[in-house]
Amino acid sequence: MVEITQTASPTSSLVSLIKTISGAGLLSIPFAFSTDGLIAGVLIIALAGITSGYGLFLQVYVSKYVPAGHATFFNLWSITYPTLSVVFDIAIATQCFGCAISYLVLIGDLMPTIITSVPFVSLDHYKQFWILVSAVLCVPLSFLRNLDSLKYTSVLGLTAIGYMALLVVAHFLIGDVPESYKGEIVLFPDSATKVFSTFSIVVFAFTGHQNMFSIINEAKNKSLSSLSTLVNLAIAILAVLFIIIGVAGYLTFGDLVNGNIILLYPSAFSTTVGRFCIVFMVVFSFPLMIHPARISVNNIYFWVLVNVLGRKPDEPAEDQDALLQPTEERDETAPLIPSSKAYIVPFPDSTFYGITVVLLLVGYTAAVSIKSFALVLAVVGATGSTAISFILPGLFGYKLIGSESDDPSKLEQTLKNLGLVLSVWGFVVMVVCLYSSLAL
C-alpha cells in the first residue's frame, strides 16, 4: 500500500504550498495590470489573494472531519454530497493534468529559443525533441509518492522564480528598456470588459488548492493554528511577490506588455538565463500537477469499483471513530464526525504505478502531438480551477462546519456563511472567466 509520510516540517509545507501556487502564470501578472490599471490591479490581486486564502483555510478546517492523514476532495465530497463526488474528481483530474501537459508544451516552445541548434535533430522536430528530453527529470520526479519528497526540487523551482522576479525588478530600476518598448500607463481600467479579459490570470495565479489536502496529510503538525498560519504566510508572501512583479513589469512596458514578460526584454545573457529559469521552473512544477491528478484518477477508479462493479469499500480503523469532544480536551487531529461516514480510499502500489505510467504516456503523447490547445486549457482552467479554489472548499465549509453540534457557535455560523459566499463567488468567477475565454 502507498502510505503517506506525515513528517513534513512547517518550512517544508510552506515551500510546497508556495511552489504549487506560483508557476508560469506569475509571468502573466504584468499583463493583467495592462487591462486593470495600476491601482485597480493591486486591489484585484488583494481580492484574489483573500478569497483564495479563505478557500485554503476552509480546506484546513474541514480536513478535521475525516480520519487524520486521509483528507481528499473525494473523501470530503463523499460525506457531504456523495452522489456528485466523482464529477468533481473528473474536473480536478482534467484541470491538473491539462496544466501538466501545458508545462510540457511550454518547454517545447522555449528551449529552441535558448539552444538554437542540436546535432542530428531537424528544425521541424526541435519542439518534440525538447519535450522528450524533459522526461529525464519529469518522469522520475512524477513517481515520488509524497509532496514532501519534492521539497528540494521545489526549493530549486523557487530559486528560479526568485531570479525572474529580480530580473523584472532590476530592469525597471535600471531603466534600460528602450522607449519604443513602452506603452501607456493608467491607474484604473477604461471598462469592465478589459478587466474580464485578464481576470482569470489573477484568480488562477493563486490556485494551489489541488495539493492543499496532500500538504495537510503530510504535515507533522496538523493543528488548526499551525496550518492556518501556513496558509496566511504563503498567501501574504505570494501577494507581495505578485504585486511587485506586476507593478514593476507594468511600469516598464505599460499597456504593451504581453502574457510572458520575460520574452519582451531585449536579447541578453540575463534574459536567456530568465527563459531557462522558466523551463527549469515548469520541469519541477510538472510532478506537482501529476500528484493531484493521480489521486483524483485513483478516486475515480475507486468510485467505479464501488458504484459500478459493486465492490464494498474497506471499513475504517477502529481508532479513527472518535466523536467531537470538548475543545479543551479534544485532540486536534481526531476526526470531528463518526468515521462510518468517511472511508479511506485504497491506493495499492500496483494502482499507483499503473496510473502514473498511463498519465505520463498520455501526457507526453498529447504534448508532442497537439500544436495548440490554449482555448481548451482556458475553459478547463475556468471550470476546474474555480471549482478547486472556491466552489468545493466553500460547499465543504458550509455543509460541515458546526455539523457536529446542535447549536453551532457564532464563529462557526459565520465561517459557514462565508463558505457559502465563497461558493457563490466561485460560480461568478467561473461565468466571468468562461465568458472572457470564449467571447473576448
Examine the pLDDT at 326 and tell me if it is beyond 80: no
Task: Give the closest residue to 286 by CA, choosing from 74, 72, 143.
Answer: 143
SS3 406: coil
User: Hey, CA dihedral for 323, 326, 329, 335, is it positive or negative?
Assistant: positive
pLDDT at 250: 92
pLDDT at 323: 32
What digits encode the pLDDT tens for the residues 134-185?
999 999 999 988 777 777 777 887 888 888 889 999 989 988 888 878 888 8
* Lowest mean pLDDT, pick from 75-89, 91-105, 385-399, 410-424: 75-89
What digits encode the pLDDT tens for the residues 352-369?
999 999 999 999 998 888
Cα–Cα distance, 440 to 49 (Å, whole number)? 25
Cα–Cα distance, 172 to 170 (Å, whole number)? 5
Q: CB of 255 within 8 A of CB of 183?
A: yes
CB-based burial label for 329 (10 Å; 0-12, 13-18, 19+) = exposed
- 125 falls in which pLDDT band (50, 70, 90)? confident
Q: Helix crossing, 135-142 with 269-307: angle to 10°?
A: 40
Cα–Cα distance, 142 to 288 (Å, whole number)? 8
pLDDT at 376: 57
Q: Cα-flanking dihedrals φ and ψ of residue 260, to 5°?
A: -140, 95
Please report, to the nearest 10 degrees, the dihedral formed by the alpha carbons of residues 228, 232, 238, 241 taken in order.
-150
What percent of the chain stands above pLDDT 90?
28
Give the amino acid at 148: D
- 195 falls in which pLDDT band (50, 70, 90)? confident
Examine the pLDDT at 200 and tell me if it is beyond 60: yes
Structural domains in the chain, CATH included, are: 10-309+348-439 (1.20.1740.10)
Query: What would the grid cell of residue 341 be?
Result: 461516514
What digits encode the pLDDT tens for the residues 107-121?
888 888 888 888 888
SS3 8: strand
Examine the pLDDT at 8 and tell me if it is beyond 80: no
DSSP secondary structure letters along 156-203: HHHHHHHHHHHHHHHHHHHT-S-GGG-----SS-S-HHHHHHHHHHHH
Q: Which residues on adjacent β-strands are paired with residue 8?
A: 219
pLDDT at 328: 41
pTM of the prediction? 0.82
Average pLDDT, whole number, for the chain? 82
- What are the residues whose beta carbons fall under 8 Å from the beta carbon of 175, sequence distance 6 or more? none
Examine the pLDDT at 331 and tell me if it is beyond 70: no
What element of type H or E holds 276?
helix 269-307
How confident is the model over 206-235, as a mean pLDDT?
A: 90
Please report, to the nearest 10 degrees, the dihedral formed by the alpha carbons of residues 270, 271, 277, 279 taken in order.
-150
Query: What would the grid cell of residue 297 be?
Result: 484518477
Cα–Cα distance, 269 to 138 (Å, whole number)? 26
Half-sphere exposure in the Cβ direction for 196 (13 Å, CA) = 16
Residue owning grid cell 468567477: 429
Cα–Cα distance, 21 to 233 (Å, whole number)? 13
- What are the residues whose beta carbons fall under 8 Å from the beta carbon of 86, sequence distance 6 or more? 74, 299, 300, 303, 307
Cα–Cα distance, 99 to 23 (Å, whole number)? 10
Rg over alpha carbons for the chain, rounded to the nearest Å, is 22
What digits encode the pLDDT tens for the residues 85-99?
788 788 888 888 888
pLDDT at 72: 84
Query: What would the grid cell of residue 248 be?
Result: 514593476
User: Hey, CA dihedral for 98, 104, 110, 112, is it positive or negative?
Assistant: negative
- 334 falls in which pLDDT band (50, 70, 90)? low
pLDDT at 169: 92
Cα–Cα distance, 288 to 274 (Å, whole number)? 21
What percent of the chain stands above pLDDT 70?
87
Q: CB of 262 within 8 A of CB of 275?
A: yes
